[in-house]
């Protein structure tokens, strides 16, 4: 595998990749009640560490933002992503830490960037506004 680290986080992770893979290889061998590390143990370890990296990347993407506005936008997008669709009223409740103007600006940015879609559903009273994640 050829890795190219582009940030300090990635550099730190890749520096430990071999160490992590060696430890997982040893654990895999021990789980087979063997003192010898076999090629299948190393392949398993590399897959585990690679999966760990894939999982960590999404967390890193949120923490690697340059501004508070970007961080807030990513948090709101993640809330919508978790639900698939979310009513505006529910989104307001889940983002009480934002001022209304900040929340509206974030929603506007996500709509303009076509990351989310605004839907309306007629209820007995007012129209219910729903935001859906674009595929």
Q: What is the pLDDT of residue 7?
A: 64
47-101 pLDDT per residue, tens: 999 888 877 776 766 666 567 888 899 899 999 999 889 999 999 999 999 999 9
Q: Give me the numbers of helices (H) and strands (E) for the chain, helices first please.
A: 5, 3
Q: What is the pLDDT of residue 92?
A: 95
Residue bearing the bigger pLDDT, 99 or 13:
99
Q: What is the pLDDT of residue 88?
A: 94
Q: Residue 2 pLDDT more than 60?
A: no
Q: Phi and psi for 118 in degrees, rounded to 5?
A: -100, 125
Domains of the chain (ranges; CATH) run 8-63 (no CATH), 68-133 (1.10.10.10)
- Lowest mean pLDDT: which of 19-28, 36-45, 58-67, 99-108? 58-67
Given a contact cutoff of 8 angstroms between Cβ atoms, the answer to whether 23 and 30 are in contact is no
What's the start-to-end Cα distance of the chain, in Å?
A: 30
State percent of the chain over pLDDT 90. 58
For 24-51, what is the mean pLDDT? 94
Q: Residue 108 pLDDT more than 60?
A: yes
């Amino acid at each position: 595998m050829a890795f190219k680290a582009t940030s300090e986080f990635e550099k730190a992770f890749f520096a430990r990749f071999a160490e992590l893979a060696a430890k997982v290889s040893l654990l895999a061998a021990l789980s087979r009640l063997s003192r010898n590390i076999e090629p299948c143990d190393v392949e398993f370890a590399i897959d585990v560490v690679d999966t760990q990296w894939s999982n960590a990347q999404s967390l890193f993407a949120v923490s690697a933002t340059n501004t508070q506005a970007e961080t807030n936008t990513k948090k709101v997008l993640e809330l919508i992503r978790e639900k698939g669709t979310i009513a505006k009223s529910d989104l307001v409740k889940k983002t009480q830490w934002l001022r209304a103007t900040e929340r509206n600006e974030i929603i506007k940015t996500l709509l303009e960037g076509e990351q989310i879609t605004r839907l309306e559903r007629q209820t007995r009273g007012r129209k219910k506004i729903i935001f859906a994640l674009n595929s």
